[in-house]
Structure 1
Amino acid sequence: MYAKIFVSRVLLQTVFRLRNKSMMCNSKRISEFNVPVPWGYIAVKAWGDENDEAILVSHGRLDNAGAFDRLIPYLPNSFYYICIDLPGHGKSSHFSPHLPIYTTNYVLVYKLLAQYFKRQSYIIMGHSYGGQIGFLFAQLYPNLVKKLILLDTVHMYPVSVKDFKYYLIDSFNSTIKLTEKLKTGNPPSYTYEEALNKLLHGRQGTPLTTEAATALLRRAVEPTGDGKYTFTFDQRMKNFINPTHDFRYILEALREDPVTCPILIVLGEHSFTKIDMELILQELSKLSNVSVEYVDGYHDIHNNNPDRVAPIVNKFLITQKGKL
C-alpha cells in the first residue's frame, strides 16, 4: 500500500514538474522585426524581454532562425534571445548580387547587430556556420562577447596549403556557372510536402526529425501563388568561400589572439564535427575557460533533441565564469 502511495506521489510530482516546465517554456514573449543594414535588412525573431541580458543566436548554413524554435523554450526566461536569419537565409535580405559569398562578410553582420542593439557585451550562441562566425567575432572583438556557446561546431573549416589554389578556382568557377544559370532559369517550386522532404532527406549524415524540419520550413520557403513554394536561401551559399588558412595558422592565431571569455562546446556523439576538428578540440580542451560536452545525437542536436542540449546550456548560462 505504501509503495503504491509512494509511486502515485512520484507520478503526481512528475506531472506537476512537466506542467510547470511547459508553462515556463511558453512564457517568453516573441516578436519579429527587421534590423536595417546597408544592403537591406536582417530578419529577427526575438524571445523574451528586451531589457534582459542579450544572447545573439545564429543558425547554420542554409538554415534559419527557426532552427532554435524548439530549443529556446527550454532555456531560462531571464535572457533576451535575438535569433537572426543570416543574410541570404530565411526572411533576411541577400548580400549584394554577382559576387561570391565570403565568410568574413558575416562577421561584419555580427558587428552591425552589436551596434544596433547597443549593448556593452553579448552572449553568442551559434550552431555550425553561425557558431564559426561567432568564434571569429569573439577573437576580433573580445570586449563585445561575454560568453560563447558553440553547438556542434568549433571553428571555420581550414583550407590546406596544397588545396587553396584549387579551392578558390573551383569556388570562382561555380559562382560564374551559378550566375549564368540564374539568368536563364526560374527557381524550382515544390508542394509543401516535397519541400519538407527535401529538408528531411537532403542532408547526408545529418538527419533531421520531422519536427526539426518543420521548424525550419516555416522560414525557409515562400509561396509562388500556385499552391507551391520556393526556397528563399541564397544559392551562392552552396559555394561560399572561407579564409584560406590551414590548421597550423588556426592554432597559431588562437595562441596569439585567444578567445578569453567562457566557451561551451556541445557536440553530437555521432556528428562529423568532433572528427574533423579533432586537432583544434585538443588545443581548446587544454584551456581553463573552455568546456566540451557530448550528447547523443547528430549535427542538428539542438533542433532534433533540444531536451538533451538545454540542461547543459542552462547550466553554462547561469555560471558566471570558469569551467562548468
Structure 2
Amino acid sequence: MEYSVTEIKVPVPWGHIAVKTWGNPDDPPIFCFHGILDNAGAFDRLIALLPKTFYYIAVDLPGHGRSSHFPAHLPVYTTNYILAYKALKEYFKLEKFTIMGHSYGGQIGFMYSQMYPQHVERLVLLDAIIPITVPTSWFIDHLKDKLEMHCEIESKLASRQPPTYTYAEALNRVQFSRNWGTICEDAAKCLLNRAIEPVGGSDGKFRFTIDQRLKNIINPTVDLRYVVEAYKTSPVCCPTLIILSKQSVLNKNFGRLTKSFGKNVVFKLVDGNHDVHNDKPELVAPLVEKFLLCKRHKL
C-alpha cells in the first residue's frame, strides 16, 4: 500500500507553516517535529518504514524549510514555537494526537506535553529530552552573548548578500557540516529538497532558506535543578518513548532528570549519532512501531 502524500500551507499571523502529510486524515494523527536547522524531510526515510495506519503530519517549523520566518529583527525564543504547535493543533482540529520530535522539535514537544497534557496521547522523543539548561553561574554571560550574537547576525544580514552554492556544494554542506556528525547522502538529500531555493539570474545556483537567527536560539534560561522541580510539579503524563543514540551527549548529562521520570517513560539506546532516525531509520523504526501499536502501556 502506497502513502498518500500531501503538501499543505497552514496560515499563521506571520505567514504560513509548511506541512507534509502522509496517509489518511481519518487515521490517528502524529505530529512530526524536526531538529534545529533541519526540516520535515528529516522524517521521510523513517515514516516510510512505520505503520501505514497513522496520519503523519511532518512540519517545517517556522524559519525552516518552506515555512515563513518569524517576524524580522527580534531574537527567536524557544517559547515562540509553542505558538506554532498550538496553531497546528487548531488548524487540523485535533483534540488528541501523538508528538514525535527529534532534538529541538522533541524538546519543544516535551514542554508542550507538560503545558497541555490533555491533548498529547503519546510522546516519542528522538535523541531529545529537554531544552539545554544554563547553570546559574553562567546566566548573565550566557544572555549577554546571545544578545550580542543577535546584533552581529542582524548586521551581517543588512550588509551582505546570502551566499550561493551549486547543488553539489549545498548537498556537501548538509551532509558533512553538521554539529553532531555526518549523515549518509540519501538522508542529506531528504533535507536538502526542502532547504534550498534557486537563485534568479544565476546558472544553477541555490541559496539556503533557513532563518539565520536560528543559529542563535534563546532557550528558557533556567538551570537543571529548576527543570527537575518543574517536572515533578508538571510531569509528562502520557506514555513516552525516548530513543537515544549511543553517541549522544544526553546519555551522560541528564541523569538527574531521568531519575525523576515515572513508569510511563521507556528508554531505548541505538547505535548511531544524533541523526540516527534519518541516517539509519531501520534501527529506529522497529522501536517506534512497537510503541505506537502497543494498546496497553504500563503507567
SS in 2 for 1:236: helix
Partners of 2:281 and 2:241 in 1: CA distance: 16
Partner amino acid for 2:229? E
Partners of 2:64 and 2:255 in 1: CA distance: 29
Consecutive aligned runs of 4 or more in structure 1 exceeding 4 Å deviation: none
Shift in Å at residue 46 of structure 1?
A: 0.3
Kindly indicate whether residue 292 of structure 2 is the aligned counterpart of residue 309 of structure 1: no
Question: Unmatched 5+ residue regions in structure 1?
Answer: 1-23
Kindly indicate whether residue 214 of structure 2 is the aligned counterpart of residue 237 of structure 1: yes
Partner amino acid for 1:322? H
Query: What corresponds to 2:177 in structure 1?
Result: 202
Kindly indicate whether residue 81 of structure 2 is the aligned counterpart of residue 92 of structure 1: no
Partners of 1:30 and 1:276 in 2: CA distance: 38
Contact 1:273 1:299 in 2 (8 A): no
Q: 1:131 aligns with which of 94, 106, 111?
A: 106
Partner amino acid for 1:298? N
TM-score normalised to structure 2 length: 0.97
Contact 2:180 2:275 in 1 (8 A): no
Contact 1:158 1:246 in 2 (8 A): yes
Contact 2:199 2:207 in 1 (8 A): yes
Kindly indicate whether residue 84 of structure 2 is the aligned counterpart of residue 72 of structure 1: no
Contact 2:63 2:69 in 1 (8 A): yes
Partners of 2:37 and 2:180 in 1: CA distance: 16
Contact 2:232 2:260 in 1 (8 A): no
Shift in Å at residue 323 of structure 1?
A: 4.3
Partners of 1:45 and 1:323 in 2: CA distance: 32
Partners of 1:321 and 1:273 in 2: CA distance: 28
Partners of 1:82 and 1:250 in 2: CA distance: 29
Contact 1:274 1:281 in 2 (8 A): no
Contact 1:291 1:323 in 2 (8 A): no
TM-score normalised to structure 1 length: 0.90
Q: 2:92 aligns with which of 89, 103, 117?
A: 117
Partners of 1:191 and 1:108 in 2: CA distance: 35
The superposition leaves residues 70-110 of structure 1 with CA deviations (integer Å, 9 ceiling, x where unpaired) of 00011111110000000000000000000000000001110
The superposition leaves residues 24-82 of structure 1 with CA deviations (integer Å, 9 ceiling, x where unpaired) of 5xx11100010000100000000000111110110000000000010001111111000
Partners of 1:321 and 1:165 in 2: CA distance: 46
Larger of the two Rg values belongs to structure: 1
Q: 2:239 aligns with which of 258, 262, 267?
A: 262
